[in-house]
């Protein structure tokens, strides 16, 4: 996990950015197969799913630039908030895992692999 | 690694490199362990088991040697600072285990070092030289030094709860009789969540059972502590009452908020901190090692 490089999902867009640093992101959703065809007339799932990040979360999301590994993000978060390495590691890796599950972040994979 | 950080847990003390953090711990006073890791792997273990008398170390070593022979390569007996032990290679790391019986606290203490690639004998000697028993003090208090806090609790108190999360640590010690309960907390990232004064926050932490609250500010612990005293009077005829003392302060050196609560019943009145709860808790900014800018 520490060596992984993360970048924002290109399909995600910033819907709102508040003065306190919080962000609202919208990620397109994939329509389930049961809701295609006739089902689509009955149930209309939302085209996008919104994710609200507080200022701390937004700073982590912005730091995922596709260049630096998670370890560098952990160290930057630790320095900024005066945390030890493992305090920061648990916070950052837990948070980016939840952002990966929500599709807001993606893991960068080198083209030659 | 110029300085070492002192760790005291279950009456066992050791000085460790400050970037080794405790990631696993046991509350059980009979048998348990604390495991410490650097940035990438576990490096050190402190194990204990109650033993009324000194065990037969020679036999223990033979048993250990036999059981570890399948896992370790090049296993051999060693001795460091008077600690008998075993060392051997396990995959890409070298593991050394040392054991000793501590008569003052009647505990069998086992120390495990995990070295990446090769054994660091100097580090082993440096740390083993600091491992010692920390029996209760003459005034009846036992000392704990862990997770950024240095605290003293009555010797018959046991660690009832330990919550260790990023930027939030809480240790609760319970006396034998209710309502004896001392609680110590340390919070980080204070700028992100503390939107009031420390004094107001301290007051907000008292619950309904605390009556006749008196607040005062002043020097204490390691800085300006806000203190609060009152009576512990939970609702209910049969619930025991006691004295309540709490203190909180922000330590500028590590940016952490420290919070101590002492609820003491009549039987243990002599232990109740006379000058506020910050009497029995000290902040330890040396525990906080923030990664360097140029660290790889």
Q: Residue A83 and residue B192: Cβ atoms within 8 Å? A: no
- In the predicted model, what is the mean pLDDT of chain B? 93
Q: Residue A85 and residue B291: Cβ atoms within 8 Å? A: yes
The SS3 call for residue B33 is strand
- Gap between the Cα atoms of A1 and B40, Å rounded: 11
Chain A residue at shortest CA distance from B187: A83
pLDDT in tens, A50-68: 999 999 999 999 999 999 9
**A3 touching chain B per CB within 8 A:** no
Closest Cβ–Cβ partner in B255, B287, B290 for A78: B290
Q: Residue A86 and residue B37: Cβ atoms within 8 Å? A: yes
- Gap between the Cα atoms of B81 and B42, Å rounded: 23
Q: Can you give the length of chain A in residues?
A: 113
Closest Cβ–Cβ partner in B188, B288, B291 for A75: B291
- Gap between the Cα atoms of B268 and B273, Å rounded: 11
pLDDT in tens, B11-24: 999 999 999 999 99
pLDDT in tens, B160-183: 999 999 999 999 999 999 999 999
What are the residue ranges in chain A where pLDDT is below 70? 34-36, 38-40, 110-113
Domain edges within chain A? 6-112
The SS3 call for residue B81 is coil
Q: In angstroms, how far is CA B222 from the centroid of its own chain?
A: 19
Q: What is the ipTM of this complex?
A: 0.90
Q: Are both B5-133 and B141-294 of the same fold?
A: yes
Which residues does residue B189 pair with via DSSP β-bridges, in sequence order? none
Of the candidates B292, B262, B283, the one whose C-alpha atom is nearest the C-alpha of residue B190 is B283
CA atoms within 13 A on the CB side of B228: 26
pLDDT confidence of residue A47: 83
pLDDT confidence of residue B10: 96
Whether the CB-CB separation of B15 and B6 falls below 8 Å is answered with: yes
C-alpha distances out from residue B284 to B148, B150, B211, Å: 5, 7, 31
For the ranges A104-108, B47-51, B222-226, B292-296, the lowest mean pLDDT is seen at B292-296
pLDDT in tens, B84-127: 999 999 999 999 999 999 999 999 999 999 999 899 999 999 99
Which residues does residue B47 pair with via DSSP β-bridges, in sequence order? B33, B110
Q: Report whether pLDDT(B2) > 60.
A: no
Chain A residue at shortest CA distance from B254: A82
Q: How far is B289 from chain A, CA to nearest CA, in Å?
A: 5
- What DSSP designation does B140 have? S
pLDDT in tens, B248-292: 999 999 999 999 999 999 888 999 998 899 999 999 999 999 988
CB < 8 Å from B in window 49-88 of A:
56, 74-75, 78-79, 81-88
Q: What is the mean pLDDT of residues B68-74?
A: 90
* CATH (residue range A6-112): 1.10.10
Q: Report whether pLDDT(B196) > 70.
A: yes
pLDDT confidence of residue A113: 46
Pick the CATH number of B141-294 from 3.40.50, 1.10.1070, 3.40.1000, 3.40.630: 3.40.1000
Dihedral (CA of A5, A9, A10, A15) sign: negative
H helix and E strand count, chain B: 4, 20
- Gap between the Cα atoms of A97 and A99, Å rounded: 5
pLDDT confidence of residue B283: 94
Give A-chain residues touching B290 at CB under 8 angstroms: 78-79, 82-84
- What DSSP designation does B136 have? P
Chain B residue at shortest CA distance from A79: B290
Of the candidates A86, A109, A67, A69, the one whose C-alpha atom is nearest the C-alpha of residue B288 is A86
Q: Report whether pLDDT(B295) > 60.
A: no
pTM over 0.95: no
The number of C-beta contacts closer than 8 angstroms across A and B is: 48
pLDDT tier for residue B222 given thresholds of 50, 70 and 90: low
Domain edges within chain B? 5-133, 141-294
CATH T-level assignment (fold) for domain B5-133: Protein Transport Mog1p; Chain A (3.40.1000)
Chain A residue at shortest CA distance from B295: A75
Q: Residue B21 and residue A79: Cβ atoms within 8 Å? A: no
């Amino acid at each position: 996990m520490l060596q992984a490089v993360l970048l924002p999902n290109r399909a995600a867009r910033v819907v709102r950015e508040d003065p306190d640093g919080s962000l609202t992101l919208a990620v397109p959703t994939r329509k389930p197969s049961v809701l295609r065809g006739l089902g689509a007339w009955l149930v209309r799932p939302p085209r996008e799913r919104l994710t609200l990040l507080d200022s701390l979360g937004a700073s982590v999301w912005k730091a995922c630039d596709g260049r630096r590994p998670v370890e560098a993000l952990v160290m930057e978060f630790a320095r900024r908030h005066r945390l030890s390495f493992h305090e920061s590691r648990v916070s950052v890796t837990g948070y980016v895992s939840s952002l990966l599950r929500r599709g807001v972040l993606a893991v960068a994979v080198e083209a030659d692999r | 690694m110029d300085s070492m950080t002192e760790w005291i847990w279950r009456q066992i003390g050791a000085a460790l490199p400050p970037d080794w953090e405790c990631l696993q711990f046991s509350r059980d006073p009979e048998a348990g362990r604390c495991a410490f890791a650097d940035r990438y792997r576990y490096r050190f273990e402190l194990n204990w088991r109650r033993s009324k008398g000194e065990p037969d170390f020679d036999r223990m070593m033979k048993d250990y040697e036999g059981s570890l022979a399948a896992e370790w390569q090049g296993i051999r007996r060693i001795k460091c600072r008077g600690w008998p032990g075993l060392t051997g290679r396990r995959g890409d790391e070298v593991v050394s285990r040392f054991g000793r019986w501590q008569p003052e606290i009647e505990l069998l203490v086992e120390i495990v070092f995990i070295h990446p690639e090769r054994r660091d004998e100097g580090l082993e000697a440096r740390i083993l030289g600091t491992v010692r028993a920390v029996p209760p003090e003459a005034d009846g208090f036992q000392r704990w030094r862990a997770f950024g806090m240095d605290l003293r609790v009555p010797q018959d108190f046991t660690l009832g709860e330990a919550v260790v999360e990023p930027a939030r640590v809480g240790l609760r010690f319970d006396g034998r009789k209710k309502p004896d309960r001392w609680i110590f907390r340390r919070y980080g990232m204070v700028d992100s969540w503390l939107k009031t004064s420390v004094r107001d926050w301290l007051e907000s932490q008292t619950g309904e059972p605390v009556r006749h609250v008196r607040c005062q500010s002043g020097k204490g612990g390691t800085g300006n502590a806000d203190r609060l005293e009152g009576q512990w009077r939970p609702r209910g005829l049969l619930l025991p009452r006691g004295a309540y003392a709490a203190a909180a302060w922000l330590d500028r050196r590590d940016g952490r908020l420290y919070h101590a609560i002492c609820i003491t019943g009549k039987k243990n009145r002599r232990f109740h901190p006379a000058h506020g709860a910050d009497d029995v808790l000290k902040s330890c900014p040396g525990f906080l090692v923030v990664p360097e800018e140029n660290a790889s």
